[in-house]
Amino acid sequence: MPHINVIGGIKMKKRIVFLMATIFILSFVGACATGKAPSTTGSKKIFMSNAYYTAPYCAPLNKGVENKAKELGYTIQIVDGEGNADKQLAQFKAAVAEGYNALIYFPADQASSPPVVKYLNETGLPWIVLNTRVDPSIEDQVPCTVASDEVEIGRNIGRLAVDYLKDGGSAVYIEGAAGASYTVNVTKGLNEILKGSKIDILNDHQYSDWDPGKAMKITEDFLTKYGKDKIDLVICQDGGMFQGAISALDAVGLKGILKCVAAGNDLIIKESIIDGSLLGTSIQDPFIEGALGVTSLDKLIKGEKVDKWAVTPGGMCLKADVEKHNWF
Amino acid sequence: MKKFTYNSTAIKNFLFERSIVIMLFIFIIVMTIIKPAFYGWDNIVNILNEMTVYGITACAMTVAIICGEFDLSASSVFAWSTVLFVSMTNKFGLVPAFLITIISGAFWGILNGWLVSKVRMSAFVATLGTMTIIKGLAFFYTDGVPINTSNTTLQAIGSFNIAGISITPIAFILVFSAFVFVLLKTKFGRKLYATGGNYEVARLAGINVTFYKFIIFVILGICAALSASLFVVRIHAGSALYGGDLALYSVAATVIGGTSLSGGNGGVTKTIVGLLVLSVLFNALTLLGIQGYFQQLIRGIVLISVIMFDASINRKR
């Protein structure tokens, strides 16, 4: 009777598993190194740490950065800062060790930005802040901030609301991430316009962390808490939140009946302006913002003068203006 | 003449027991060849400084896992502690703030320990509940807004370094050494292993298993607060949103290092390997120029490969 070598079979399987795991890992490292290693023959390298890499707004923003960088002849790497300034600090240190020529910093929040700004200045490399402004106490230490006039965005949203509810009414308001400069400043601008108006914001701060799913849940809770008849307007800070809000309204048959105002250049915003469920938007084009960031950094790299604050073009967009803008 | 005996079984056992270390070593060698910047002193220091903030809590999580438990609320304790440490520093100064923060961490640990050991709730459910409570408290306390401090002593401590090594790795070495000593050289450590290895047998052997199930959460709470304090020393800010990945990171480091989730074995020396795997991988992906989306994908694949390989080796043995 033939002897079946079970032990030998197990040993062979162990060796195969070992070999496979090692080859797997090495091939990944090798492929990554071959595919992504920046050129050493002259192309300058830009490194960007984006604290909100996975937020809907940041996908076209990253694209805007990448496209402009390639157009200007730079190699670009964008990494996820995961909302953690300590992680972003470590990423920048790794980038400097790797020899990157210029840096883009998209902060997680204002409060934790000072140590990162301090380090970036210590590197001696050209760098900018993109989208989210740093702590006001150290803003003068930033060579260039490329960001929207967030307060003006808030004012635009407020103007849309006041124009719609001329005789007053009740609104609910969904905000972004607590502590983010965009959230704080948009709310500031909104409150400036609503002060003295007859519009009443029913809720206290409700943060959706830029997540459409959370925004949807918040809207559903508002409808339950205040009642569908008590709310006259839904105000959203960006397109992601609007997407969540409109989904909640659609689910209860209120889409187009209970109006909204928002900010952003999302496709759903465009469609909603056209179909009338969204009154208008305050423009914040992430493609343009990303591209402007790289253009400003390019000037710094070349030693040219840049403004301390390069304002991302904005303004209001109503139904008649829809075709004039980029949507994503 | 004495014959030299080549014991291949002993060598194989030695290698299999250290399979993760060997894979890490191979990975480091490959990275050193591909990216000379990887083994530069600045980069090594960068890895050390970054990994040791969470590393302290990872050591405590290892102790909890050895005892057969784990703590989901570690992330929330971390977040709350950053907020408390910053606000108390602004009000009372650095030393009182530190003491208050550590006591607060111990308090949350006592709550978790009481729920698990006395009320006999499962650790998953109990710490899931406290995770939500503590995070909510942190949001309520700050109204959701991150806060920072310009305390000059704190900033000076944050800037302190010896050849680039900040205070964080130094604190980690002290905490790690204490854990190693306690786990390996004391009755406390032995009883901890016994409790995690077989709860009933340990109880019947006269070990106060309730106490051990309780104390591990207190240790975790204190360590999460300590990690948070060191984080604030580096970043000078606190927020209810910080440390969201701490609990999972600590468990991952523990498991990758080779400590079994079923309890009764493992150790913090193995967790250091897990921490290195995570930190080196994270650093390597940045140095290799990998874009953000791919980094997440690759990190997940490599981690599964490492754990799968190790589990396969140990199962067959």
- Residues of chain B positioned with their CB less than 8 A from the CB of A80: 292, 295-296
With CA atoms as reference, report the closest residue to A94 among A27, A26, A48. A48
Inter-chain touch B143–A178, beta carbons under 8 Å: yes
Residue B10 within a domain: no
DSSP A1: -
User: What pLDDT is attached to residue B282?
Assistant: 86
Three-state DSSP class for residue A283: coil
Residue B6 within a domain: no
Cα distance between residue B119 and residue B139, in whole Å:
28
Residue B18 within a domain: no
Cβ-nearest to B286 among A94, A135, A137: A94
Here the tokens at position B97 are 């703030």
- Residues of chain A positioned with their CB less than 8 A from the CB of B19: 18
Inter-chain touch A178–B26, beta carbons under 8 Å: no
DSSP B242: T
For residues B313 and B217, which has the higher predicted lDDT (pLDDT)? B217
Q: What is the pLDDT of residues B154-201, one digit of tens each?
A: 999 998 988 888 999 999 999 999 999 999 999 999 999 999 999 999
Residue B27 within a domain: no
Inter-chain touch B236–A13, beta carbons under 8 Å: no
Cα distance between residue A105 and residue A48, in whole Å:
6
Using a CB–CB cutoff of 8 Å, tell me whether A308 touches chain B: no
Q: Are A219 and A172 in contact (CB under 8 A)?
A: yes
pTM value > 0.80:
yes
Q: Are A234 and A258 in contact (CB under 8 A)?
A: yes
At B59, the amino acid letter reads: C
- Asked whether the ipTM of the predicted complex exceeds the cut of 0.85, the reply is no
Q: Are A116 and A89 in contact (CB under 8 A)?
A: yes
Q: Which of A103, A110, A112 to probe the B interface (max B CBs under 10 A)?
A: A112
pLDDT reading at B31 higher than 50: yes
Measured CA distances, B291 to A128, B160, B295 (Å): 19, 32, 6
Q: Look at chain B and report how many structural domains it folds into.
A: 1
Of A13-22, A109-118, B115-124, B301-310, minimum mean pLDDT range: A13-22
Give residue B313's pLDDT band: very low, low, confident or very high (50, 70, 90): low
Domain of B288 in residue numbering reads as 36-316
With CA atoms as reference, report the closest residue to B82 among B50, B123, B54. B54
Average pLDDT, chain A: 87
pLDDT reading at A20 higher than 90: no
Here the tokens at position A34 are 């071959």
User: What pLDDT is attached to residue B36?
Assistant: 86
Residue B5 within a domain: no
Q: Are B247 and B74 in contact (CB under 8 A)?
A: yes
Cβ-nearest to B40 among A77, A89, A97: A97
Inter-chain touch B302–A25, beta carbons under 8 Å: yes
Domains of chain A: 45-148+286-313 (3.40.50.2300), 150-284+318-324 (3.40.50.2300)
Inter-chain touch A93–B43, beta carbons under 8 Å: yes
Find the residue in B nearest to A115 (Cα). Answer: B235
Q: Which of A11, A93, A123 to probe the B interface (max B CBs under 10 A)?
A: A93
pLDDT reading at A100 higher than 70: yes
Helix axes B74-92, B123-142, angle to 10 degrees: 30
Here the tokens at position A279 are 């009154």
User: What pLDDT is attached to residue A3?
Assistant: 45
Which CATH number characterizes residue B71's domain?
Answer: 1.10.3470
